[in-house]
Amino acid sequence: MKQIQITEFGAPDVLQSIEAEIPEPQSHQVVIKVDAIGINPIDYKTRRGLGFVAEKAKSRLPWTPGYDVSGEIYSKGSAVTGWEVGQRVCGMVNFPLPAGAYSEYVVAIPEILASVPDSVNSEMAAALPLAGLTAWQGLYETGNLCSGQRVAVLAAAGGVGHIAAQLARHNGAQVWGTASTSHHDFLEELGIKPVDYHNEKSLSQLKDMDLVFDAVGGETGLQALDFLATGGTLVTLPTITAEQIVQAAKEQGKHARGYTVHPDAKQLQTLLDYVADKQLIINIQKRYPLADAAQAHAQLEKGHTRGKIILTV
């Protein structure tokens, strides 16, 4: 089978295609024959040698990146019940390590998988897990979102942002989303009030927010503390700057929290049902063959994706 691996951290061209053996499942595992793979910023950050996964992966090189897969169960271990060979599944597999989703076949534990409804295609199912779970957990577990709240989603056109903004809206929140004007029609179609983050006047709409969902981090996250209402919460995603933002919030008598996504099959199944019911739209901006993972990374790293980029097998 074809698999992408890195033998060192660096630029996108460290992603090399190799031939590997199709894995055998252990008794509690399944092997998925992969149709599509979702890519996420954590994949390129780790490839560059940045962040908590790179810290752990550096002693495991060569290493295969990736978490989000959709496909069908190809084989299963003797102790696996409730899952059949041929069943369509998706999930955020082997997070945070060993990862390994950039492969034609991947091993997973079934506890983190969800069953893909017939009406959801493989590309959507691969694009959804990590971004969808991050959106869900940031809004409900970390942000304690309630109906009727005022919510600002920073980077609302991005992979996580476009899902978070839609979920918040479905939950009865009023939702503003920051993006360049080129994405404003897209946000309006999703029922999100667009805010141009390049324009001070447009940004001045963001005030008295009960929840700020910060998918940008750094200086942008720090400045977004000003958007909070008294008693509001800022939830920040990029782990690299989370501590700095939480600390700054404390010093200002405000409330900010970071978190790390975790697999949750029940949440993922609910998200898939929303996609099947067209209550949640997953925008796929671009597709690349698995062998072109380096090009896909170079594209995602530009930082201006609308929705998701996927690899196809």
Ligand X SMILES: NC(=O)c1ccc[n+]([C@@H]2O[C@H](COP(=O)([O-])OP(=O)(O)OC[C@H]3O[C@@H](n4cnc5c(N)ncnc54)[C@H](OP(=O)(O)O)[C@@H]3O)[C@@H](O)[C@H]2O)c1
Dist CA 209 CA 152 (whole Å): 7
Which one of residues 154, 265, 272, 290 is an interface residue with ligand X (CB under 6 A)? 154
Nearer to ligand X, 30 or 235 (CB): 235
Beta strand segments in 8-67, E: 16-19, 30-38
Nearer to ligand X, 25 or 159 (CB): 159
- The span of 58-66, 104-112, 158-166, 265-273 binding ligand X (CB under 6 A) equals 158-166
The conformation of residue 8, written as its DSSP 8-state character, comes to S
Ranges within 113-132 binding ligand X (CB under 6 A)? 130-131
The least distance separating ligand X from the CB of residue 70, rounded to whole angstroms, comes to 17
Which residue carries 């980077």 as its tokens?
Answer: 155
Distances from the Cα of 233 to the Cα of 145, 167, 250, 299, angstroms: 10, 17, 11, 32
Nearer to ligand X, 80 or 168 (CB): 168
Residue nearest to ligand X as judged by C-beta position: 158
Which one of residues 110, 158, 194, 263 is an interface residue with ligand X (CB under 6 A)? 158
Which one of residues 15, 92, 101, 179 is an interface residue with ligand X (CB under 6 A)? 179
Q: Does 303 bind ligand X (CB under 6 A)?
A: yes
Q: Does 234 bind ligand X (CB under 6 A)?
A: no
Q: Which helix (H) or strand (E) holds 153?
A: strand 150-154
Q: Does 306 bind ligand X (CB under 6 A)?
A: yes
In the 3-class helix/strand/coil scheme, how is 214-268 assigned residue by residue? ECCCHHHHHHHHHHEEEEEEEEECCHHHHHHHHHHHHHCCCEEEECCCCCCHHHH
The residues that touch ligand X, with contacts defined as CB under 6 A, are 40-42, 130-131, 134, 154-155, 157-161, 178-180, 183, 197, 215-217, 220, 237-239, 259-261, 300, 303-306
